[in-house]
Amino acid sequence: MTDEVVTLPERIPHHVAIIMDGNGRWAKARGLPRIAGHRAGVENLRRILRASSEFGIKILTIYAFSTENWGRPEAEVRGLMNILETVIDRELDQLHANGVQLRHIGEIEGLSPMLQRKVRKAVDLTRNNAQLILNIAFNYGGRQEIIRAIQQIVRDGIPADEIDDTLIDYYLYTAGQPDPDLVVRTAGEMRLSNFLLWQASYAEYYSTPVYWPDFDREELLKAIASFTQRERRFGLVPQP
Ligand code: FPP
């Protein structure tokens, strides 16, 4: 049986953001350590990247490590840092060859100097790629991002009455990128968990009970199909 879908949904979201939840539960259900779930999560990321590119999604933002995740057991934190390093070491050439532009969003200074170097190198190498932008939110927190923006605005001496949406956008990690159209959360929770608080204001939200390692191409299609059916009003009334 082929998993090819002949017709794609008529409206493909330009920017999809994903809260990749449920790795731990996926591993537990199999009697495996949590880190095995995160590794399976990386495998899945590869599939979802391929599918996103195929469907014509132009920006994918993934929540890989939140500012709150430092509170997890030390071994798991170390494991997640190692995963980011391994992804860069092993996948960078392939990502580059596939036209993926890697970007980091979050507080990079909180990572080890070696990891900072690797992330910066990967971002630099892929900066002109245009098939798909992959924003990796790593050591990212939405409130931290907004606080940082306000601090920078104050430091830059911007007068209060010049502060508007466009200016705030400019000071966020996602400066220059359109807001997400669709936020997907796997593993059943119904919260934003400090992810893209500013940018997701008008995004459509899709939650599925499927754990992230099992969220495959077909599941992404379901999320897009749900998005396609919704009427986005941006606070306005329905069009006649
Ligand atoms: C949530 O599952 C997932 C995370 C905190 C990390 C997600 C990370 C990856 C998929 C790999 C990292 C990818 C890159 C590119 C660095 P959970 O552990 O909270 O699951 P649970 O709620 O079932 O315990």
Residue-wise pLDDT tens digits, 97-156? 999 999 999 999 999 999 999 999 999 999 999 999 999 999 999 999 999 999 999 999
Residue 87 in this model has a pLDDT that exceeds 80:
yes
CATH of the domain at 205: 3.40.1180.10
**What total of structural domains would you count in the chain?**
1
In a domain, 149, yes or no: no
3-state SS class at 60: strand
Which pair of structure tokens corresponds to residue 88? Answer: 């860069």
| pLDDT classification of 237: cutoffs 50, 70, 90 | confident
- The ligand 1 atom at the shortest distance from the C-alpha of residue 211 is 23
Please tell me the predicted confidence (pLDDT) of residue 5.
Answer: 58
Residue whose Cα lies nearest atom 3 of ligand 1: it is 21
pLDDT above 90 covers a percentage of the chain that reads 90
Testing ligand 1's pocket by substitution, the residue of 18, 21, 65, 89 carrying the most ligand atoms inside 8 A of its CB is 21
d(Cα 87, Cα 56) in Å, to the nearest integer?
23
Is ligand 1 within 6 A of the CB of residue 134?
no
Residue whose Cα lies nearest atom 15 of ligand 1: it is 84
In a domain, 42, yes or no: yes
Is ligand 1 within 6 A of the CB of residue 41?
yes
Is ligand 1 within 6 A of the CB of residue 21?
yes
In a domain, 234, yes or no: no
| pLDDT classification of 174: cutoffs 50, 70, 90 | very high
pLDDT above 70 covers a percentage of the chain that reads 96
Q: What is the average pLDDT value for the chain, to the nearest integer?
A: 95
Range of the domain at 195: 15-141+179-228
Residue 180 in this model has a pLDDT that exceeds 80:
yes
In a domain, 172, yes or no: no
Please tell me the predicted confidence (pLDDT) of residue 81.
Answer: 97
Q: Residue with structure tokens 């968990």?
A: 193
Residue 168 in this model has a pLDDT that exceeds 80:
yes
Please tell me the predicted confidence (pLDDT) of residue 89.
Answer: 97
- Cβ-contact 213, 41 below 8 angstroms: yes
- The ligand 1 atom at the shortest distance from the C-alpha of residue 45 is 10
Please tell me the predicted confidence (pLDDT) of residue 231.
Answer: 74
**Residue numbers annotated as active site:** 21, 69
Please tell me the predicted confidence (pLDDT) of residue 3.
Answer: 56
Residue type, 28: K
Of 213, 214, 202, 206, the closest CA to residue 188 belongs to: 206
Is ligand 1 within 6 A of the CB of residue 35?
no
Is ligand 1 within 6 A of the CB of residue 104?
no
Please tell me the predicted confidence (pLDDT) of residue 1.
Answer: 47
In a domain, 41, yes or no: yes
Burial class (CB in 10 A: 0-12, 13-18, 19+), 106: buried
In a domain, 157, yes or no: no
Is ligand 1 within 6 A of the CB of residue 196?
no
Dist. CA 187 → ligand 1 center (Å):
11
Q: Which of 33-37, 134-138, 220-224, 235-239 has the lowest mean pLDDT?
A: 235-239
d(Cα 165, Cα 11) in Å, to the nearest integer?
26
Please tell me the predicted confidence (pLDDT) of residue 4.
Answer: 61
pLDDT tens digits along 217-234? 999 999 999 999 887 777
Region 41-62: what's the mean pLDDT? Answer: 97
In a domain, 132, yes or no: yes
In a domain, 6, yes or no: no
